[in-house]
Structure 1
Amino acid sequence: MTSKLDAYRVFNEVAKQKSFSRAAKALYMTQPAVSQTIMNLEEELGTRLFTRTSKGVVLTNDGQLLYEYISSALNLIEMGERKISESKNLMVGEMKLGVGDTISKYYLLPYLEKFHSDFPNVKLKIINRTTLELCAMLKSGEIDIAVCNLPVKDPAIEVLKCIDIHDVFVCGEKYRYLAIKPRSIEEILQFPVIFLESKSNSRQYVEKYFLAKGIKIQPEIELGSHDLLLEFAKFNFGISCVIEEFAQEYLSNRSVYKIRLLEEIPARAIGFCFLKSVSLSAAARKFVSITLER
């Protein structure tokens, strides 16, 4: 049984070829099958679409009217199919990525550079938010994928771990003597401590760990970015809790010093987050692959 769309494809080809036989050849059909399809279409529409001539067929007035719309519609369908193919091959498209400032600066940029170099026609839309905000944006469909501080515990969100990270305390020259030997957290908290704002996933992770040990954190200063934590420690405002992997430049040039703990804070991770109920786009899948392979 010929579908309505197939019938219109046959009609469109006959109109272009001005011949049932040439249309049949182009469509890899028999001429009787083409003729029957046109007859059925004419019967359904209640009008004649073609007039036979000695040289083939020509469109009637109604046929010409229909052809203008059908030709346009089929061209749009073909364009849509072509765009899907291009998107799958990453020739065009868009990837909406959510990530925090710190992760994008200290971890993600080399992978974004590689992706952009390999697929320059894929438009990148980068949105910087906290982990909590990014999870909400994932569920509202505002972004395709996010790179977040883990853990993220949401039944609607799939998590794919990238790397482990470690929360440590650092200080400037004024408190450098604290870095000579391992210290207890109780000893550290005798000094001014500097943390990220309470809404950040990093702060909540460390705070929860210490609360489980009966230790309540009361920061002297709360800041909105990881870079500021390092700068405030460098200028001796207090002892900052930072991510060791993202503080390597400061540690290597001795702008700040790591204070070892008698009992180190357990490692956590950063990773990709995406909705379980929605398939990742070709661009997002490729970006995940590039990030995890390197």
Structure 2
Amino acid sequence: MISKLDLYKVFCMVGKHESFSRAAKELYMTQPAVSQSIMQLERELDIRLFTRTSKGVILTNEGRILFEYASSAMNLIHVGEDKLLKIKNMMIGDLKIGVGDTISRYFLLPYLEQFHKEYPNIKFKIINATTLELCASVKSGEIDIAICNFPIEDSALELRECMDIHDIFVCGNKYKNRCSRPISLEEITKLPLILLESKSISRQYIEKYMLSKGIKITAEIELGSYDLLLEFARANLGIACVIKEFSKEYLEKGTVYKVKLKEEIPKRSIGLCFLKSVSLSPATTKFIEILEHKTDI
């Protein structure tokens, strides 16, 4: 049975051409099928829409009123379909990403740059927050994907690792000699520690690992910025726990020095997460493909 939407498509075409035969030709229908559709719509509305003449048909007064609204509606549908096609073909669209400041600076930027070169018409919306806040934003629909520190335990999220990272301790010149030989984790706790704030996943990972060894750590200084960890260590204010991969510039220049440990902290990773139950937009899918190609997820 022909749908109501199809009936209005036929109605608009007949109203446009004032002819059953020309409407039938444009719609790739038979003329009797077009005539039957108009008759069905008139029966359902209980009103006559066209007046039949020897030259074709003309809209009744009621038909003109309906045609004005129906043609506007059909035009809006066509505009909507056209926009969907443009989104599908990456001609327009949005990419909403959640990411922490550190990962944004030291990991994400090259991928955003490549994506923008390939798809310049896609608009970015970047939200900076902690890992826990980003996971909540993914689940609320505020962002499409989050790139953050692992481990994350949430059954609603699809998790994909992007890059291994290693937590290390670094110091400035003041502590360089003291930390030149391999020291134990217990000895680390006796030094003034500079750590990220307690709600960060990186801080929680270190604390959990230390506790698994029966060691409790406390911060002499707590900071909310990763870059400040390195700067405070450089200024000899204590021993900072940082990520080796994001501290290469400081380490290579000798601005800070890696503290040698008798037992290295196990590696972890950063990765992306998105809702399992929601289909990804074309822009999000393409961005993930770039990440997968570059990082071999």
Q: Which residue of 1 aligns with 2:164?
A: 164
**Is the aligned partner of 1:132 residue 2:132?**
yes
Q: Which residue of 2 aligns with 1:223?
A: 223
Query: What residue ranges of structure 2 are gaps of 5+ in the alignment?
Result: none
Compute the TM-score of the two structures, normalised by the length of structure 1: 0.97
Q: Which residue of 1 aligns with 2:234?
A: 234
How far apart are residue 179 of structure 1 and its match?
4.6
Once the two structures are superposed, residues 191-242 of structure 1 have per-residue CA deviations (whole angstroms, 9 ceiling, x without a partner) of 1111100000000001100000000001111110110000000111011000
Q: Which residue of 2 aligns with 1:118?
A: 118
How far, CA to CA, are the matches of 1:9 and 1:179 in structure 2? 79
How far apart are residue 81 of structure 1 and its match?
1.2
Q: Which residue of 2 aligns with 1:79?
A: 79
Q: Which residue of 2 aligns with 1:174?
A: 174
**Is the aligned partner of 1:185 residue 2:180?**
no
**Is the aligned partner of 1:70 residue 2:70?**
yes
Matched pairs, number: 294
3-state SS, counterpart of residue 80 of structure 1: helix
CA RMSD of aligned residues (A): 1.0
Contact conserved, 1:170 with 1:258, CA < 8 A, in 2?
Answer: yes
How far apart are residue 52 of structure 1 and its match?
2.0
Q: Which residue of 2 aligns with 1:271?
A: 271
How far apart are residue 47 of structure 1 and its match?
1.4
Q: Percent identity?
A: 65
How far, CA to CA, are the matches of 1:166 and 1:274 in structure 2? 24
Q: One-letter code of the match for 1:2?
A: I
3-state SS, counterpart of residue 215 of structure 1: coil
How far, CA to CA, are the matches of 1:121 and 1:58 in structure 2? 45
* More displaced 10-residue stretch of structure 1: 179-188 or 85-94: 179-188
**Is the aligned partner of 1:203 residue 2:203?**
yes
**Is the aligned partner of 1:61 residue 2:64?**
no
Query: What residue ranges of structure 1 are gaps of 5+ in the alignment?
Result: none
3-state SS, counterpart of residue 177 of structure 2: helix
Q: Which residue of 2 aligns with 1:13?
A: 13
How far, CA to CA, are the matches of 2:185 and 2:197 in structure 1? 20
3-state SS, counterpart of residue 147 of structure 1: strand
How far, CA to CA, are the matches of 1:199 and 1:112 in structure 2? 27
3-state SS, counterpart of residue 136 of structure 1: helix
Q: One-letter code of the match for 1:197?
A: E
How far apart are residue 290 of structure 1 and its match?
0.8
Contact conserved, 1:178 with 1:259, CA < 8 A, in 2?
Answer: no
